[in-house]
Amino acid sequence: MSMADSKIGTGLDMDVFTYADLIVKYLEQLGIEYVFGVPGGAIEPLYNAMAKGKTSDGVKSVVARHESGAAFMADGYARETGKIGVCCATTGPGATNLITGVSAAYADNIPLLVITAQTPLPKFGKRALQDSSCAAIDTVGMFNHCTKYSTLVSHHEQLETKLVSAIMTARNEPAGPVHVSIPSDVLRTAAAQGAGIESRTLKGRYTLTDQGAMDQMVIELKSVNKVALFIGDGCKDASEEIMRFAEMINAPFVTGPMGKRWVNEKHPLYRGVFGFGGNESAKDLLQDKDDELDLVIAIGAALGELGTRGWAQELINKKLVHVDSRVEHFTRSHMARLHVCGHLPTIFRIINEKLNRAQRYWNKEWDGLPQPAKTNINGCATSLINEEMCLSDAHPIKPQRLFTHLSRELPQDTRVFVDAGNAWAWSIQYYQRSEHDGKYHIAMGLGAMAWAIGAVVGSAAGNARKHPHLCITGDGSYLMSAQEITVAKQMELPVVYVILNDAVLGMVMHGQRLGGAAETGFDLGVIDYAMMAESMGIEGVVVNTVEELEAIDYQRLFSKNSPTLIDVRIDKEEIPPMTDRVKGIAVNGESATPGG
């Protein structure tokens, strides 16, 4: 069933079908529209192959301004489309520049196909320009530590088998990036066209579910009265069944900071975010001061530091039942009374059916359960820190007011990408919506600054202008990767960038202050980011006052054929909700600065 039997070729003849063409043919079979990357000599055969098939439904290249931006774009594309994101780079520094973006995808289980080039095989180890073979700067070895699969194609006859292995590995649980490095002479080698592997094989996902553990979970549920749920980021495709489960057993639920993107924050059972930037109402629920909780069920939760308030005992204890698709996550819940491993949508569909057949319904009132006397300003049954600031007319603008404004004014289907830094804390606490359903994106696994700037471009490209896209980033992150906004301009994508402009690295500054460290190294200087955008031919808007904020016409901005940058001058003295993080790192003897 091979797509290719080969004969050696060297040139870039547009009439010759090469192994680079073979790669493009596989991507077309997968329905992938874009490859995000930066061209260079060794990777040029792949760009040549994409140029051959430039049609409306063919694979098209998107030229990022930096390779890390290309990886971030592929990440955003994968999140929006459910397909594999593809990024590429030339050999040497092109490949090493990808590593931060690929590592971020690895930490968040985002499926990427990462294609890098190598110098021609005869030049390996001879100090050729940008040699990154095993005899020089070993990029395949580097990617071994941030991908599920990293391989060098050392002969053209290996390429097809290794490519198929990589594609299937990227999609299967746990999903993640894979890396194939190909010498330029292999990419240029002529190959025979064939039928290839059927797309359903490439697109298939193979999962195992522990039936015995599911049965034990049902037994546990029948023996208790009071259950709470902790929803993590790994609940994609399972959120509907999980909500049905929560309602069936009348279980209040909280989320981790990344898990909030799968829930309705205005659901009456929702108690907010537990972890970094979280809500006191979530903490109160899990602290269970009256000792009335019988079970806490963590679902799709990696149980990392930021999602658990530093592995707080109120979550990780013997009352825990941990349900996850990744065995590795169970190493952080070894004390749990039960681990259930498998495909989350399948697990909760089966458990819900079992509970229905058993006619078990939990409609009891929860004695002692913290019930808010009223909903907050966003209509959610969660507590907010300094809620009065959400209505402040002061200027510089209070960040609480900005995120409350975005909660109310953005169209319902807006895809929101939030960058590392204070934007995390403000959005987790104050950006609250009734229907997230995967529309709120935050990448806290690695915590790479500037991730959102590229990811929103990839998502918007994959979304084909069907829904609005907005990026929230700090001025520190923007200065790292501002140039990627020009990709949105070139692709005519109406992405709106909101810059939190306070002229400092805010998380660094507040982390130093709260942790008692020396206050140094956070000043960025006063910069007009709207003017920067205008210099690139992109509309820039400066927002100094609440009146100017409320006057923004989002409908117009999302209907354009170009991006917009909104430079919001925020109050740098407002302390973001990150105190627990600062306390945690101080206790462990780390720097008081949270990073970003």
CA distance linking residue 54 with residue 454, whole number of Å: 23
Helix (H) or strand (E) holding 286: helix 280-287
Burial tier of 313 (Cβ tally within 10 Å: 0-12, 13-18, 19+) = exposed
**Residues 563, 395 contacting (CB under 8 angstroms):** no
**Residues 229, 297 contacting (CB under 8 angstroms):** yes
CA distance linking residue 349 with residue 242, whole number of Å: 8
Q: Quote the pLDDT of residue 594.
A: 42
CA distance linking residue 12 with residue 51, whole number of Å: 12
Q: Quote the pLDDT of residue 375.
A: 86
CA distance linking residue 143 with residue 134, whole number of Å: 12
Torsion angle (degrees, nearest 10) of CA 206, 210, 215, 221: -90
Query: What domains are there in the chain, each with its CATH number?
Result: 6-203 (3.40.50.970), 211-357 (3.40.50.1220), 387-587 (3.40.50.970)
φ/ψ bin of 356: left (φ > 0), alpha (ψ from -120 to 50), beta (otherwise) = alpha
Q: Which two tokens stand for residue 404?
A: 């409350």
Fill in the amino acid letter for 149: Y
Q: Quote the pLDDT of residue 587.
A: 47
Q: Quote the pLDDT of residue 442.
A: 95
The list of the chain residues with pLDDT below 50 reads 1-2, 5-12, 195, 360-370, 586-587, 589, 591-596
pTM, entire model? 0.90
CA distance linking residue 159 with residue 175, whole number of Å: 22
Contacts 24+ apart (CB under 8 A), 364-367: 364/225, 364/250, 366/226, 366/250, 366/252, 366/292, 367/290, 367/292
- Pairing relationship of beta strands 190-191 and 6-7 according to DSSP bridges: antiparallel
Of the candidates 57, 82, 62, 83, the one whose C-alpha atom is nearest the C-alpha of residue 73 is 62
Q: Quote the pLDDT of residue 578.
A: 83
Give the DSSP letter string of 501-564: E-SB-HHHHHHHHHHT----S-B-----HHHHHHHTT-EEEEE-SHHHHHT--HHHHTTSSS-E
With vertex at residue 351, the alpha carbon angle to CA 364 and CA 433, rounded to the nearest 5 degrees, is 70
Between helix 239-249 and helix 344-357 the angle, nearest 10°, is 30
Between helix 159-171 and helix 19-29 the angle, nearest 10°, is 30
Q: Which residues pair with 501 in a beta bridge?
A: 569
Of the candidates 340, 234, 256, 233, the one whose C-alpha atom is nearest the C-alpha of residue 305 is 256
